[in-house]
Structure 1
Amino acid sequence: MLKKSLVAMSISAAFFAQAQDVSVIRNTVDVYSGSPSVGSAKFNAMAGSNGALGGDANSLLTNPAGLGVAISGEVSGTLSIMSNKNTSSYAGASYGYNINKADLGNVGAVMTFQLMTESAWKFINIGVNYSNQSIENYIETPGNSNLIYDFDATNSASFGRHAYDRYGYLSKTSVGVGANYNNNLYIGAGLNFLNSSIDQSDTAIFNSLSTGGSEYFSKQNTPFYERGNGFSASLGVIGKLSPNFRLGAALETPMFWNIDRSYNFYNDPIYGDDIAVENRKFTSPLKATVSAAFIASKSFALNVDYSLGLTKPKYKEYGDAEAELNDFFKEDYKNLSELKIGAEYRIKQFRLRGGYAYTSSPFDALTVSRYTDSGDVTDQSYNNLILNDRNALSFGVGYDFKSFYIDASYQNISSKYSNPFLRGVVDPSNNIESGYYSPNYLISSDAFAVSDVKNVRNNFFLTFGWKF
């Protein structure tokens, strides 16, 4: 095994990318800077908006002070059925692919301890929450017959197809404590333990112009595998302004990740084809959330959460790779903001819920060299490169059987972004290619192909719970 470090190269003043760095950038924001947002069916139906309402273990996903709102013990389990469809359009053609995944999405429990004293402290409650979500993602892009590579003097090929494939999961286990002071002030704290698994590949197909045959190529430093564990802590407070209004605030520390990774590399001048291993340390942004809730009566409640990243993603620098990534995030990353609105209406034992969430784009406008549909190369600026903003709509129903309850919800998440791929050039410092490889050829280019991707996620959740 050889310990290697990725060397990032600049395309323009605005955008760094080399080898797998587009994937590294995407995973940095999409996986390691986020956290599982799968809660109970009630939580998901209300778009994850509960920062000033609280009352159950899902408070640990937003504001741990919500644990202090609970007045009875509760245990729940949630089945998630998640559908993720990407449609990638390029050079006048489109490919769509759908992934369906069923899993245990959430388990939560709260134990309440009523303080039988004359003190103003009414309850001390303990909560545990487990949240799990699939991060599987597959983007297949059609080819372009005008995009021609000359492998040698007698063999030319046209671009046939590209596939970006990611398997894995992201899970978060949280434990916390919340307290109720005089039924007007609630405080809480939580500890969060995260685990991740990513198996990712990047392949391209080229078609021979002379024989019509097709050949598969793997990108340098792919497939790659990452196993990570992280830790964060959170603090929160909720205050009643009146019987009908509440305000909440929470702060979650950065997630401190330890990531073990391995990847394939090809045609190294010394080692040839081999596998490298390395370790990375990563710190996600510090996040703050403010919340407001309006509780008109026991029949209706409305909650609004606004979250903002206060710092930027950062890798511990072992070499040029991490330094270049940090430069990219320092210059071109925008602090993420998220708005969530959720409401619940009760009709006797029935529950009706709905919500909306918006997450901002993580990057400023980025300029890259790209292939046009005719095969020429030009520079173009994108305001939605790699990832973009997301909109989520949700609704759900529930029924309370006194001690037992059952909830169901549906969630639709949509996003459109520009997907760069197919670039790879020679690194002059070590003469190692970062392009696409087969056993017989290598493909090297200094420009991206860029497709338009529409991502739609349709998720269903079913929760069974018991109050005691």
Structure 2
Amino acid sequence: MKKNLLLFLTVGLTFSTTYSQEIKDAVRYTKSDLQGTARFTAMSGAFGALGGDLSSINVNPAGSSVFNNNQFSTTMGFYDIKNNSNYFDSSTSTSENNFDLNQAGGVFVFKTQDPNSHLKKFSMSINYENSNNYENSTFSAGVSPIHSVDEYFISYATGVPLGLLQNNNYADLDHGAQQAYLGYHGYVINPVSETDSNTLYTSNVRQGGNYYQENSVYSDGHNGKLIFNGAFQVDNLFFGLNLNSHFTDYVQNSNFYEFNNNNPGINYEVQSLSFSNTLHTYGSGFSFQIGTIAKLTDQIRLGFAYESPTWYNLRDEFSQRLSSIRNNNSNTLPPDVVDPLVINYYAPYDLQTPSSLTASFAYVFGKSGLLSIDYKYKNYSQTEYGPENDQYFRDLNRVLENTLGSSNEIRVGGEYRIQNLKLRGGYRFEGSPYKNGTTIGDLNSFSGGLGYNLGFIKLDFSYVHVNSSSQEQFFSQGFTQAARINSYKNNYTMTFTFEM
């Protein structure tokens, strides 16, 4: 039988060829926030047929050849996000805010000197875009009438020989056996028999239901993209190519707490526990884009762009800690703490995000204003983990294909000019990447802003409000309770542009 002790393992590192990736980890890198210059965000990013803005290159690479002059811009943003959680009719709320660099870059325009040449000009640009800001937090709390987190540990422990958990350190096990190890040494689960060959386990949590549970998640980091662009204009047609270098760094800290007041038995059963997990994912990737814009008349413009998959190479670091308190009718034992003090370094792996197609229309009302519409299609079921010869990833890719679906995105933006002042507004709708439409719900966003032209210097401001909903599932298997999260995000952006 296990001894009642405070368990610590030697500080160390373990390198593993097993994996612990989930669907939500893949989706994190397939979706992007609306980032970029203040003019771009004020019009909800509807720039596929317009160009002439450094962030428009992120939609359609042909947009850089619309510029008439060299231009340099930098953009700062302030964000605040509020997450309202509902878990078994209990409501909680969290908020976060921060400053960040949205965009920085420049474009160089080279015009041909021959007025009879079909080639009018070509351009080269480099631009940094902050695709995602991962700073966020959620907190959910409520009383689950039936289910306890013991189901999580039992689901992983079932099929794992007891001898493996008794005779090996945490660092020597794969991800699934590590979860069983924590549950066993934290006294959350008990073996059906004490033989080394035992593979069945039961709960050591007080039975009776009504488990008070808290789940807090804090994340930080970013996903950025450096765009190398080339484009040219032939008569009234514009063509462009982007080569994109991606880099990402994501950290998530989560803690799950459970407590119950059920009647204690004669054995020492778990009354409360705290389970903490820390994930650090980092890596780089590559993608490309091609696009064209056709100026049919002085008023009408059409655009079309293709964005390739992004091919990421990623690494994960993962650590865990479990603490539980047990008692019986008369005594309470000191906390049982399982803190391996080990960081799991998983083998590098690949992630391929889906490609996308964007079709655009714009109508320009002379010098007084414009209206622009973009439609974007993306099939999230094409998301794939690799290497392909790994059985774990083949199984996970089948789950991705069955769980994720295609998504439609609509962006509408307008601009009205009053001498040197420009007023802007926009709307954005993005469909859920999940077939069920609820794990992550549809996104709705409204935007507005203004810009002022001082000659060779321009100042632009924007405000974007984003509303979305999701189901935050606390754990991937066994204990699959979820909280309903309604998120409200406000972005305030300012861009300084220098033109020469």
Give the TM-score, by structure 1 length. 0.82
**Number of the residue aligned with 2:154:** none
Q: Tell me, what secondary structure is at the counterpart of 1:2? A: strand
Task: Quote the Cα distance in structure 1 between the aligned partners of 2:358 and 2:232.
Answer: 19
SS in 1 for 2:129: strand
Aligned partner of 2:496 in structure 1 is: 464
Which of 1 and 2 has greater Rg? 2
State the distance in 2 between where 1:327 and 1:266 align: 31
Cα distance, 1:75 vs. partner? Answer: 0.8
Q: Who is 2:405 aligned against?
A: 334
1:290 and 1:37 map into 2 onto residues whose CA distance is: 18
Query: For the residues of structure 1 that align with 2:450 and 2:205, how far apart are their CA atoms?
Result: 65
- For residue 274 of structure 2, the aligned residue among 207, 216, 219 is 216
1:164-179 correspondence runs (5 A): 164-179=217-232
Q: Count how many residue pairs are aligned between Structure 1 and Structure 2.
A: 406
Moved more, 344-353 or 194-203: 194-203
CA distance in 2, matches of 1:321, 1:225: 20
**Could you say which residue in structure 1 is the equivalent of 2:171?**
none
Residue aligned with 2:296, SS = strand
Correspondence for 2:487 among 420, 430, 455: 455
Question: Closer, same or farther in 2 for the Cα pair 1:180/1:388, shift >3 Å?
Answer: same
Instruction: Give the secondary-structure state (helix, strand or coil) at the position aligned to 1:65.
Output: helix
Distance 2:227 2:467 in 1: 28
- The yes-or-no answer on 1:140 pairing with 2:139 is yes
Q: Identify if the C-alpha distance between structure 1 residues 37 and 145 changes in structure 2 by more than 3 Å, giving closer, same or farther.
A: closer
Residues 159, 322 of structure 1: CA spacing in aligned structure 2 closer, same or farther, 3 A cutoff? farther
1:296 positional shift: 1.4
Per-residue CA deviation, residues 37-62 of structure 1 (Å, 9 max, x unaligned), is 41100000000110100012212210
Give how far 1:119 is off: 1.2
RMSD: 2.4
Distance 1:153 1:254 in 2: 47
CA contact (8 A) 2:373 2:413 kept: yes
Which structure 1 segments of 5+ residues have no match? 7-19, 366-382, 425-445
1:238 alignment counterpart:
293
1:333, distance to aligned residue in structure 2 (A): 1.1
Per the normalisation by structure 2, the TM-score is 0.76
**Aligned partners of 2:37 and 2:54 also within 8 Å:** no
Tell me the residue number matched to 1:319.
390
2:157 is aligned to none
Matches of 1:423 and 1:252, distance apart in 2: 31
| Identical-residue share of aligned pairs (%) | 28
1:124 alignment partner AA: F
Residue number in structure 2 paired with 1:299? 368
Per-residue CA deviations over 1:13-64 (Å, capped at 9, x if unaligned) read xxxxxxx65xx3223123x213454110000000011010001221221001
Measure the CA separation in 2 of the matches of 1:308 and 1:155: 50
What's the counterpart of residue 317 of structure 2?
262
TM-fit CA distance, 1:327? 0.6
Q: Any idea what SS the aligned residue of 1:243 has?
A: coil
8 Å Cα contact 1:54-1:67 kept in structure 2: yes
User: Where does residue 3 of structure 1 map in the other structure?
Assistant: 16
Whichever structure has more strand as a proportion of its residues is 1
Task: Provide closer, same or farther for how the CA distance between residues 148 and 70 of structure 1 changes in structure 2, counting only shifts above 3 A.
Answer: closer
Asked if the contact 1:36–1:131 (Cα under 8 Å) also holds between the matched residues in 2, the reply is: no
C-alpha displacement of 1:302: 0.9
1:191/1:465 Cα in 2 relative to 1: closer, same or farther (>3 Å)? Answer: same
Aligned mates of 1:398, 1:188 — CA distance in 2: 27
The answer to which of 330-339 and 227-236 deviates more is: 330-339
Contact kept in structure 1, 2:445 and 2:464, CA below 8 Å? yes
AA aligned to 1:247 is L
Whichever residue aligns with residue 125 of structure 1, its letter is S
Alignment match, 2:377: 308
Alignment CA distance shift 1:349-1:207 (3 Å): same
Contact persistence 1:35–1:172 (CA under 8 A): no
Name the CA distance, whole Å, in 2 between partners of 1:131 and 1:423. 32
Matched to 1:242, the amino acid is T
Q: Distance in 2 between matches of 1:148 and 1:401?
A: 63
* Aligned match of 2:250: 198
| 1:249 Cα offset (Å) | 0.4
CA distance, structure 1, for counterparts of residue 395 and residue 252 of structure 2:
22
Q: Which residue of 2 aligns with 1:26?
A: 24
Q: Are residues 1:396 and 2:449 paired?
A: yes
- Check conservation: 1:36, 1:171, Cα contact below 8 A: no
Q: Give the drift of 1:204.
A: 0.8
Q: Which amino acid aligns with 1:293?
A: A
Could you give the per-residue CA deviations for residues 169-191 of structure 1, whole angstroms, max 9, x where no partner exists? 11111010111112x11111111
Aligned twin of 2:431: 360
CA displacement at 1:266 relative to structure 2: 7.1
Alignment of 1:279-298 (within 5 A): 279-298=348-367
In the alignment, which residue of structure 2 is the partner of 1:15? Answer: none
Structure with greater helix share of residues:
2
- 1:154 Cα shift? 8.4
Query: What is the Cα deviation at residue 217 of structure 1?
Result: 1.1
Which blocks of at least 5 consecutive residues in structure 2 are unaligned? 1-13, 151-187, 189-202, 265-269, 323-338
Per the alignment, residue 80 of structure 1 pairs with 77
Q: Distance in 2 between matches of 1:29 and 1:285?
A: 10
Shift of 1:86: 1.0
Q: Does 1:111 align with 2:108?
A: yes
Matched, 1:252 2:251: no
Instruction: Tell me: CA distance 1:4–1:341, structure 2 relative to 1, closer, same or farther (3 Å).
Output: same
Relative distance call for 1:422 and 1:260 in structure 2 (3 A) is: closer
Query: Which residue of 1 is the match for residue 197 of structure 2?
Result: none
